[in-house]
Chains A and B, each alone.
Chain A
Amino acid sequence: MNRAIETVQLCKSFGGLVVADAIDFRLDVGARHALIGPNGAGKTTFVNLVSGALRPGSGRIMLGDKDITVLKQDQRVKQGLVRTFQINALFRRLSVLENVTLAIAEREGFAGDFIRPAGRYRAAIDEAYALLEALGLAPEAMKPITDLAYGRQRITEIAVALGLKPKVLLLDEPAAGVPTRDVGIIIEVIERLPSNIAVLLIEHDMDLVFRIAKRITVLVSGRILIEGAPDMIAQDPTVRQVYLGERRQPC
């Protein structure tokens, strides 16, 4: 399989605290890959490094055949590397439709046009609305984010990311804070993602992880502990010890 992204000896530390310790990680094209690990393992840091929100101390990040280590976040997004946030990072006072339309405007490259009215780019609005329909958000299209239930906001997060037509999608705890009864919708949304998108899922919810991931990497203290198929991870004694908890029987 072709690689979508690969990190080579990726390191980052905050003062004396090493949060990424020589991480060699590879995400294949079309992958459904989960990154798990206990709190403070450095999962979100890893997302921040790959997406470009943080600069690595050393190491390289490849996107396809390109070395993107020195690219800024917005440049990486233009190359198809898109992330969502663990805590909702939306335009809270703007409507759901506007949130997605802004993303499409950036992707299409007309967001810098300061002469023509935004509404003239009608195709972008129609596309945004179609995306909302597909995700079941159409009834709330005109509501500001602040009027949405938390679970719906999480889906909007994914909608904004999809508006960018990602090749690689980093989902940072998409189900965090979502009431159990709504997690199903999020699983459904992720399962219906186009198969050519490489998805890296960072998640605590093991039901979600084992439902979706075809491959799992376990991160502990900024280091990769083990990587493999879900069955293998679930049965690995060290993983059970550090993370899953002895009594838990996933799948």
Chain B
Amino acid sequence: MTASLDRSTGDDTAMLDSFARRHRFYPFEALPWIVAVIAFFAFSDYLALLAQILATIIFALSVDLALGYAGIVTLGHAAFFGAGAYTAGLLAANGWGEPLTGLLAAAVAAGAIGFISGAVILRTSGLTLLMQTLVVAAMLYELANKASRLTGGADGLQGMQVWPIFGVFKFDMFGRTAFLYCFAVLFLCWLIVRTIVHSAFGRSLTGIRENVQRMHAIGAPVNRRKVLVYTISAALAGVAGALIAQTTQFVGLGVLSLERSGTILIMLIIGGVGQLYGAFIGVPLYMIAQDRFATVDPVYWYFWIGLFMVLLVLFARGGVLGVWARWRDWSKVRK
């Protein structure tokens, strides 16, 4: 076939240019960071909560990378979050409270567990995979529970001593350092995830999500790609867990619980899956709503969250970003 590429037609070139430049930064991408800076000054009484939100966004980003991009259905990401939290926690409780190396160690430990478990369970898919991810988390939960001499078991890990960042910035009781620390790490993680999803590898992940059979047929080493992204995702989840451990100076069994795996999914779904920014919307919405509901109605707040979720699934499929996209399409059609 003699395909003549006619580059003289300006329309095509412009179209292909914009296709090739989908990774460029859009102005709206600055929005989360502007909001975070404003929040830092406007809600200085809530910095501890805000820091937790920032760290949890990293966790949601890691789930989005696996679920939203590669289509790996997981109900066990708390395994990696918890592995990171316990790694950082155990280091700080046993004489090594340097936070940055703690984060790194957490990423390595969680990534290693992601790699090993991923190499085994990613051969399956669908419901089987869902069960397997759940089992991995449950195993780690029981392990942390039984190794109570090391982890404190159900009482949680006590006596963490986290050193100042760079030996200078102490974690203060208002959470200023914690906030800025989480902010910086989130920014870095966001850059990493963003780079990955816009890379050729990231595009091939969407191919795996859309049609595995076809990916095999175009010669992609599907399993290798899945294990790699799962490992990266696990390492990021580990960083998120470590951040929360270091900033709250405590690790409880809850970091490995099914509930944590579930709620992070809910947060991501509220925001929108597979669009990178769902995490930045869903996590604050959920955590702030949870904080408010718990204040207004300390006994039944979970009921209100549940009701909210049911309404969301009924009327706002695709989460906030999904609603936004539909509204935009609709207003375009009207014009």
A interface, CB within 8 angstroms of B: 51, 53, 73-75, 77-78, 82-83, 85, 89-94, 97-98, 101-103, 105-107, 110-122, 125-126, 129-131, 133-134, 138, 141-142, 160, 162-164, 192-194
Given the interface contacts A89-B213, A114-B199, A118-B198, does A106 sit within 8 Å of B218 by beta carbon? Answer: yes
Give the Cβ gap from B1 to chain A, nearest Cβ, in Å.
5
By CB atoms of chain A within 10 A, which of B2, B196, B214, B221 has the most?
B214
Contacts of B20 in A (CB 8 A): 119-120, 122, 125
B200→A113 contact, CB < 8 A: yes
Contact with A along B189-222 (1 / 0, CB 8 A): 0000001101111111011001101101111111
Given the interface contacts A131-B3, A141-B15, does A91 sit within 8 Å of B214 by beta carbon? Answer: yes
Closest to A145 in B: B210
B213→A134 contact, CB < 8 A: no
B222→A93 contact, CB < 8 A: no
- How many chain-B residues does the 8 Å CB contact rule pick out? 39
Contacts of B198 in A (CB 8 A): 117-119
Q: Please, how many angstroms separate the alpha-carbon atoms of A85 and B225 in the complex?
A: 23
Contacts of A102 in B (CB 8 A): 203-204, 207, 218
B19→A121 contact, CB < 8 A: no
Q: Please, how many angstroms separate the alpha-carbon atoms of A103 and B203 in the complex?
A: 11
Q: Please, how many angstroms separate the alpha-carbon atoms of A78 and B207 in the complex?
A: 18
**Residues 195-254 of B at the A interface (beta carbon under 8 Å):** 195-196, 198-204, 206-207, 210-211, 213-214, 216-222, 225, 228
A92→B220 contact, CB < 8 A: no
Contacts of A94 in B (CB 8 A): 206-207, 210
Q: Is B331 an interface residue (CB 8 A)?
A: no
The interface-forming segment of B4-12, B43-51, B166-174 is B4-12
B23→A117 contact, CB < 8 A: yes
B201→A113 contact, CB < 8 A: yes
Contact with A along B103-144 (1 / 0, CB 8 A): 000000000000000000000000000000000000000000
A-B contact pairs, 26 of them (CB 8 A): A51-B217, A74-B216, A75-B219, A77-B219, A82-B217, A85-B213, A89-B211, A89-B214, A89-B217, A90-B210, A91-B207, A92-B211, A93-B210, A98-B203, A106-B219, A112-B204, A113-B199, A113-B201, A118-B22, A126-B5, A126-B7, A126-B16, A129-B16, A130-B4, A130-B5, A160-B218
Closest to A73 in B: B216
Give the Cβ gap from A174 to chain B, nearest Cβ, in Å.
14
Contacts of B199 in A (CB 8 A): 113-118
Q: Please, how many angstroms separate the alpha-carbon atoms of A50 and B22 in the complex?
A: 38
Q: Is B21 an interface residue (CB 8 A)?
A: yes
**Contacts A51-B217, A119-B198, A125-B16 supplied; 7 other A-B pairs, CB < 8 Å:** A89-B211, A90-B214, A112-B200, A112-B225, A113-B199, A114-B201, A117-B22
A112→B218 contact, CB < 8 A: no
Given the interface contacts A74-B221, A114-B201, does A97 sit within 8 Å of B5 by beta carbon? Answer: no
Q: Which 10 A-B pairs have the closest CB atoms?
A: A77-B219, A119-B20, A114-B201, A117-B23, A91-B210, A134-B3, A130-B3, A130-B5, A118-B200, A103-B218
B19→A125 contact, CB < 8 A: yes
By CB atoms of chain B within 10 A, which of A51, A129, A194 has the most?
A129
Give the Cβ gap from B210 to chain A, nearest Cβ, in Å.
4
Q: Please, how many angstroms separate the alpha-carbon atoms of A53 and B219 in the complex?
A: 12
By CB atoms of chain B within 10 A, which of A75, A78, A112, A113 has the most?
A112
Q: Please, how many angstroms separate the alpha-carbon atoms of A129 and B14 in the complex?
A: 13
Contacts of B206 in A (CB 8 A): 91, 94
Contacts of B4 in A (CB 8 A): 130, 133-134
Given the interface contacts A97-B19, A142-B19, A162-B1, does A129 sit within 8 Å of B204 by beta carbon? Answer: no
B21→A92 contact, CB < 8 A: no
Q: Please, how many angstroms separate the alpha-carbon atoms of A190 and B5 in the complex?
A: 20
Given the interface contacts A92-B211, A119-B22, does A129 sit within 8 Å of B216 by beta carbon? Answer: no
Residue in contact with B202 in the complex, picked from A97, A114, A138, CB distance below 8 Å: A114
Contacts of A73 in B (CB 8 A): 216-217, 219
Given the interface contacts A114-B202, A133-B3, does A77 sit within 8 Å of B207 by beta carbon? Answer: no
Closest to B210 in A: A91
A193→B1 contact, CB < 8 A: yes
